[in-house]
Amino acid sequence: MKVGFISLGCSKNLIDTEMGIGVLKNHDFEIVNDPKQAEMIIVNTCGFIESAKEEAINTILEMAEYKKENCKYLVAMGCLVKRYKAELQKAIPEVDLWISIDEYNDFWKNISTLVYKNVEKNDYMSYRNRIITTGKKMAYLKIAEGCDNFCTYCAIPYIRGRFVSRKLEDILEEAKELAKSGIEEVILIAQDTTKYGIDLYGELKLPELLKKVCMIKEFKWVRFLYAYPESITDELIEVVKKEEKICKYFDIPIQHFSDDILKKMNRKTTGKNIINIINRIREEIPEAIIRTSLIVGFPGETEEDFICLEKAVKDIRFDRLGCFTYSKEDGTPAAKFENQVHSKTKEKRRNIVMRLQNAISEEKMQSRVGEVHEVLICDISDDGLFYVGRSYMDSPDTDGVIYISGAKEDIMNKFVRCKIVGFEEYDLFAEVIE
């Protein structure tokens, strides 16, 4: 049977998709990219915020149209299913099977029952048997599941459960297998990577894990994402500084700088502490790229709170920044807070932050012209005129890319030295150095 997968949401969700693909390939299902060819379509949904929920539902409805032709089965899985399974079953009868996150251990049993009308021997979704979908050279490596932070705006703990670290030995075994398969950039992910190990070992183990991953000789780049500021220790900064393989890149979800708002968000830090951490990183690692995400319009956010946020953005001058309007999520404490901010005010504040960041970004991009960087080539532009790659400064599917010209040979899936010659919005242009 031909199966098409659509994976929505974050990279953590993508790994679940890759494990699902692994199970079906193990049972001789053929994976196809074109839904028109698929006899079964599986949509892995995101249910994080309102816009993600809308995208998931629209995608399911779009895929339901294919059931009128070649497609026999439509399956939905993932975060949205976990949150709203009963409601979705009533609302979208075109879906033949709904698989919640807590039913992943029965993934194959559910699929085989749907297709063959009998329960076959179960086959578990496994990190070790997943099929990498992110190219020949880069792969994500999930080091923990769930979250214990319980930020008042976030539904993740209610969807994914409490924070559970994977055993260090298991992570390293998977990392070695990725390396043997040709992967040269590995990206460690979790909802909060900096908390890794605290539940298993009673202490923060990310620095130790990073050092051990760096010992795998096949890896050229090691990157980690989602480092919460209160757990960025001197030890972690020192490891990033000293280990050559680690990309000097910190993705720090900050959300706000007003102490009052941070407290209402149940964040475990203050604006001053955040600034101190960023200053410490830049003092120790001057070339470090710092990315963050911010939320404007959180319930009770005053004009003074927003001015505090705006000032911090001006002063810190982030290399990468995403700003989101607060999304009122079912089941979260903040959804019940008083003084909800009007949607127009939220949009206005977001626009102010993004205009400010756009100007900062343009200045930073201009300063890159003339620099030489090692770039991993991972694609070709739609018009066929450029190779497309990333440097240590660019996280995939989040940041901009580098368009490269001047190559005299095939450089696809290779690391090449390039000189930056120009920029456009969030992307750079470069030429290969012979």
Buried-exposed string 242-271: b where 16+ CB fall within 10 A, e elsewhere: ebebbbbbbbbbbbbbbbebbebbebebbb
- Model pLDDT, residue 119: 67
Residue 323's identity, in one-letter code, is C
* Tokens coding 370: 């003339």
The pLDDT tens digits of the residues spanning 162-208 come to 999 999 999 999 999 999 999 999 999 999 999 999 999 999 999 99
DSSP E strands in 33-143: the ranges are 40-45, 73-78, 97-100, 138-142
What separation, in Å, do the N-terminal and C-terminal C-alpha atoms of the chain show?
48
The string of pLDDT tens digits covering residues 48-64 is: 888 889 999 999 999 99
Lowest-confidence region among 96-100, 106-110, 188-192, 321-325: 106-110
Indicate the pLDDT class of residue 120, thresholds 50, 70 and 90: low
Helices (H), 65-203: 79-91, 107-116, 156-160, 168-180, 198-201
Of residues 309, 315, 223, 318, the one with CA closest to residue 265: 309
Mean pLDDT of the chain, nearest integer: 95
CA distances in angstroms from 393 to 176, 286, 295, 312, listed in the order given: 25, 13, 23, 22
pLDDT in tens, 318-364: 999 999 999 999 899 999 999 999 999 999 999 999 999 999 999 99
Domains in the chain, please, with CATH?
2-127 (3.40.50.12160), 132-367 (3.80.30.20), 372-432 (2.40.50.140)
Mean pLDDT of 209-237: 97
Between residues 270 and 68, the one the model is more confident about: 270
Mean pLDDT value of segment 391-415: 94
Identify the pLDDT of residue 128: 81
pLDDT number for residue 6: 96
The pLDDT value given to residue 430: 97
> How much is the average pLDDT of 7-24?
95
Position 380 scores a pLDDT of 95
Strand pairing category for 144-145 and 164-165: antiparallel
What is the DSSP secondary structure assignment for residue 101, as one 8-state letter? G
